Structure formats: C-alpha cells, structure tokens
Amino acid sequence: EAQVTQNPRYLITVTGKKLTVTCSQNMNHEYMSWYRQDPGLGLRQIYYSMNVEVTDKGDVPEGYKVSRKEKRNFPLILESPSPNQTSLYFCASGTDYEETQYFGPGTRLLVL
C-alpha cells in the first residue's frame, strides 16, 4: 500500500532532550516536507527536500534540523526541544513539487 508513515505517533518529552521523528514513504517520491499545525496558526512548513541531499528551509525552521540521506526517509530532528515546539507534526511527499502531496498521519508532540 502506498503511504507515508511517521513514528512515533504520540510523544511526550522534556525540555532539552533530543528527539527524532521519522518519516518514510514507499512511493519513490522526490519531494518531501515537514509541517507543524497549531490552533489559530494553521499548517506551516518547517523544511522541505527536493531530493536526496537537497534540503531547504520552510517558513518556520528555527529549532529543527532535517536530513535526506535516502530517498524514502526524511527525519525531523529537535536537538533541544522547548515547550513552544509542542504541536502536531505532519510529513508529506510528492513525486515532485508540481504533483499531489500525500500526508502522513501526524505526530502529536508535547514538550514539558
């Protein structure tokens, strides 16, 4: 089944403890991206990747890192999480930036 998977789906952590949210797609998509969704602020793009080893900042990249070492995986790294990074995170992928973007199920993160 063609899909975008994220792990974990729910995470509670404490300030400063490094964490990684994984994202994987099995559709051989080149374009992948991360978003956060917050009440009143909507969905905002954090980072995107056009292909392996090609990443760029979205609108809210501060406090996040990404890597794209393989085409199928695009992990989101929070090296020192803070409470203002409590949010619902989505990963997405598409054949390229001109095609339909498919979203993962989301990861709900709480930083205490």
Nearer to another protein, 10 or 69 (CB): 10
Is 25 within 8 Å of 72 (Cβ atoms)? yes
Kindly give the residue spans of alpha helices, DSSP state H, lying in the chain: none
Looking at residues 35 to 64 of the shown chain, list those that interact with another protein (rule: CB under 8 A): 35, 42-45, 48, 50, 56, 58-59
Instruction: Using alpha carbons, list the distances in angstroms from residue 31 to 46, 51, 82, 84, 100.
Output: 14, 6, 28, 27, 10
Q: Which residue of 21, 30, 32, 33 would you call a contact of another protein, by CB under 8 A?
A: 33
Q: Which is nearer to another protein, 40 or 69 (CB)?
A: 40
37 to 47, 86, 107: CA distances (angstroms): 14, 10, 10
Among 97, 110, 111, 112, indicate the residue that binds another protein (CB under 8 A): 97
Q: Using CB under 8 A as the criterion, which residues of the chain lie in contact with another protein when the complex forms?
A: 31, 33, 35, 42-45, 48, 50, 56, 58-59, 90, 92, 97-106
